[in-house]
Amino acid sequence: MWKMTQLLLRPSSPRVRFSTPPLSIRPFSSIRPWKQASVESRGHYPDEAWIEEHVGGPLYQHQKSLPRLPVLSIEDTLCRFLPTALPLAKSSQEVQALQSAVAKFPQQAAHLQERLMQRQKENPNSSWLQHWWNTAGYLQVRDSVVINVSYFFHFQNDPTAVRQIQRGAALLVAAADFRQKVVTGQLPAEMVGKQKTPLCSVAYKYMFHACRIPMRDHDSYMIYDPARNRHAAVACRGHFFKMDFVDQDGNAYPLRVLEEGLQQCRDLADELPPALPLGWLTSQNRDDWAVARQTLLESCPRMEQALEVLQSAALLICLDEVDRASSEAMAQLLLHAGRDASAGANRWFDKSIQLVLTKEGQAGLVGEHSMMDGMPVMNFANRLTEVTYAQAGALATAKATSCNVEPIFSKLNVSSEHKSQIDRHINKAMLELETAASRHELDVVRFHGYGSDFIKKAGFSPDAFVQVAMQLATYRLWGEQVGTYEATQVRPFLHGRTETTRAVSTESAAFCKEMGLHPKFDEHHESVRKEKLRLLQEAVTAHVKFMGAAAKAEGVDRHFFGLSMLVGDSEKAPDLYSDPVFARSKRWRVSTSHLTHPRFENWGYGEVFPDGVGLSYSIHKRHCGFSITALKEHDWTEKLGDKLEEALLEMRALVELDRQPTSKL
């Protein structure tokens, strides 16, 4: 049930200038209809490139000038790989075997390298990696998207919106504003760094009016013409509604009208007979969901049209029945529809964007990960959280006096024969999601000892410093270092997504060993402290170096993956691919990703392997936040949270004690 060992995609480290302008009334820009009503994507970005040319504008102006993802030399990849794997060897024999496999790899993989370079030549307007990555990494993976694939953002509360309907209306206004800029191409392209390097904008085509579609063996992704679809979908008590929310130019309906529309959805959900809770089905294994969906299509002549209404919605608003949730409870609500998955009927997990709201106005976003990573969605979320309820009225410029609200599935006549089959599918899906939710635990950790201000003042990279702390914490949790992944975006390259920054290094291993499995409280000894500080600096420097290489698409994992994909069915793979240390170094028992936003309460995702943890984190100026997920049977999340705080406090003590003046007495 777990993802391919080579593949892990998470929201990438935030080094992007947000591209949304200050609050203002936007200039008019018409939405040009596409040449067709919808497009079915099979995971090959160039197939939908015509949309970029059709839309144009600042958003896509750099696409044709972006550099292509490089094919690295085998020698450079091996040079970067070895220091990340050696610390994971359990014996001198394993070290020797690994070194032998590395030595033979250039010759054994030479023909694979030639094929990879040929593949690059055959894709002059794309990336040699993207189609493999989108398909083998996502659309062909059969696991449920819940926990295994999707991620969440928990937004801070809007003090001007204390009710669900108010917050939902404000989010729709902000979403309409951002959507209008995306679908007209008027959103400025994201830039990164002091040189303002443009980033690839391909993902924005799959943000709105988009939905993953279950199919046997290989899912597809439907995207719909925004000029033909001006509605959002609303989920309430297992019912789904179509609700228009923008005019033909993309302007949001007035705030009052949107509030009335959302309230009408809630009232209808109370008045209608109990819903056939189809949302549960989207949480299934993809092949099971594909079978269930086919049953739905056969159950009623109008079912396909109803599904299209939901699939073509700009996004899905989920009006949940929870009054108020703690940080952990809200994270669970977003990650897997609640502690007991009780909100599973109120989700459509295939939608690219779901906005989830409690009755008291707490809100968050659930992102489906297949065709886009976290940073474009974070750009969207920046706008969602920037526009408060008090400000939203100024952005809602459409002249509408009411909005059309229609149930999507409630009035369909499903045959009795198919109804019993659908019920069986739903009951199976419900049991599976409830079981998955009950097996998981999630801890939200807020460390108030310090944040990026202190780390920078001490002369360290905040991200690398916290990564080293996580290495020490997991080392103490398990008594050894394990394969650790940090997602790093490579969107400066055409159709680039992510590369792996490996957190294990010979330098981090030396630091962890010196710090020990338990605090030694020996920092007051100057020689000991100096040695620990030296090793800390070397570990941080090593991480910064690897992170910098990964950001330039010079990591190791995507290259190894590409070569492995070119091994023929009758060919023997290079010895390195079957080496136990190589495999251990790619078994991401710790999957980490850094994303910091001032208006996010929390964010996170599930673990990659059943014997691992998901560890998302944010580094604010004066505090750090962590979201830790794991299977409940291990009892790891609280323990790891404690060890993280312990490691961060010890590292602060090293820095602060070294600053203290030495007594002259």
Residue 42 lies in a domain: yes
The DSSP call for residue 181 is H
Examine the domain organization and report whether 265 and 288 are in the same domain: yes
Q: List CB contacts of 13: < 8 A, sequence separation 6 or more.
A: 463, 486, 487, 488, 489, 547, 593, 594, 595
Examine the domain organization and report whether 247 and 277 are in the same domain: yes
Q: Taking the CA of residue 531 as centre, how many other CA atoms within 13 Å lie in the half-sphere pointing to its CB?
A: 12
Q: Which helix (H) or strand (E) holds 441?
A: strand 440-447
Count of residues in the chain: 665
Residue 7 lies in a domain: no
Show the tokens assigned to 532: 């620990």
Examine the domain organization and report whether 463 and 374 are in the same domain: no
Examine the domain organization and report whether 506 and 604 are in the same domain: yes
Residue 427 lies in a domain: yes
User: Three-state SS string across 476-490, please?
Assistant: HHHCCCCCEEEEEEC
* 70-77: long-range pairs with CB below 8 Å, 24+: 70/493, 70/553, 70/554, 71/113, 71/116, 71/117, 71/120, 71/128, 71/559, 71/562, 72/553, 72/554, 72/559, 74/105, 74/106, 74/109, 74/110, 74/113, 75/106, 76/554, 77/556, 77/559, 77/560
Residue 665 lies in a domain: no
Mean pLDDT of successive 10-residue stretches along the chain, which has 665 residues:
38 45 50 96 98 97 98 98 98 98 99 99 97 98 98 98 98 98 98 94 98 98 98 98 97 98 98 95 99 97 97 99 96 97 98 99 98 96 98 93 95 90 98 98 98 98 99 99 97 98 98 96 90 98 98 98 97 98 98 97 97 98 99 98 98 89 49
Q: Taking the CA of residue 106 as centre, how many other CA atoms within 13 Å lie in the half-sphere pointing to its CB?
A: 10
Examine the domain organization and report whether 117 and 241 are in the same domain: no
- The residue from 409, 441, 473 where one domain ends is 441
- The residue from 420, 441, 462 where one domain ends is 441
Show the tokens assigned to 646: 């312990």
Domain count, the chain: 2
Examine the domain organization and report whether 50 and 91 are in the same domain: no
Cα distance between residue 365 and residue 175, in whole Å: 12
Residue 131 lies in a domain: no
For helices 255-271 and 164-183, what crossing angle results, to 10°?
120
Examine the domain organization and report whether 104 and 191 are in the same domain: no
List active site positions. 369
- The residue from 441, 475, 491 where one domain ends is 441
Phi/psi region, residue 357 (left: phi>0; alpha: psi -120 to 50; beta: rest), is beta
**Per-residue model confidence (pLDDT) at position 452:** 98
**Per-residue model confidence (pLDDT) at position 658:** 80
Examine the domain organization and report whether 50 and 80 are in the same domain: no
**Per-residue model confidence (pLDDT) at position 245:** 98
Strands 600-604 vs 151-155: parallel, antiparallel or unpaired: antiparallel
Domain that holds residue 120: 74-126+448-659
Residue 11 lies in a domain: no
Examine the domain organization and report whether 306 and 407 are in the same domain: yes
Give the three-class secondary structure for 446. Answer: strand
The CA angle 184-188-191, to the nearest 5 degrees, is 150
Q: Which helix (H) or strand (E) holds 113?
A: helix 110-121
Examine the domain organization and report whether 296 and 247 are in the same domain: yes
Q: What CA dihedral angle connects 413, 418, 420 and 426, to 10 degrees?
A: -90
Examine the domain organization and report whether 269 and 418 are in the same domain: yes
Q: Where do the DSSP E strands lie in 45-188?
A: 151-155
Cα distance between residue 655 and residue 641, in whole Å: 22
Residue 139 lies in a domain: no
The CA angle 441-445-446, to the nearest 5 degrees, is 160
Give the three-class secondary structure for 143. Answer: coil
**Per-residue model confidence (pLDDT) at position 661:** 58
- Identify which of 217, 169, 603 has the alpha carbon closest to the alpha carbon of residue 375: 603
Q: What CA dihedral angle connects 25, 375, 62 and 21, to 10 degrees?
A: 20
Strands 220-224 vs 197-198: parallel, antiparallel or unpaired: unpaired
Cα distance between residue 441 and residue 636, in whole Å: 9
Which CATH number covers residue 559?
3.30.559.10
Cα distance between residue 504 and residue 467, in whole Å: 10
Backbone angles phi, psi at 658, to 5 degrees: -70, -20
C-beta separation of 638 from 661 below 8 A: no
Cα distance between residue 436 and residue 335, in whole Å: 11
Q: Where do the DSSP E strands lie in 216-307?
A: 220-224, 231-236, 239-244
The DSSP call for residue 25 is P
Q: What CA dihedral angle connects 624, 156, 322 and 343, to 10 degrees?
A: -70
Residue 286 lies in a domain: yes
- Identify which of 366, 163, 358 has the alpha carbon closest to the alpha carbon of residue 259: 163
Show the tokens assigned to 469: 């702390």
Which CATH number covers residue 320?
3.30.559.70
Examine the domain organization and report whether 412 and 498 are in the same domain: no
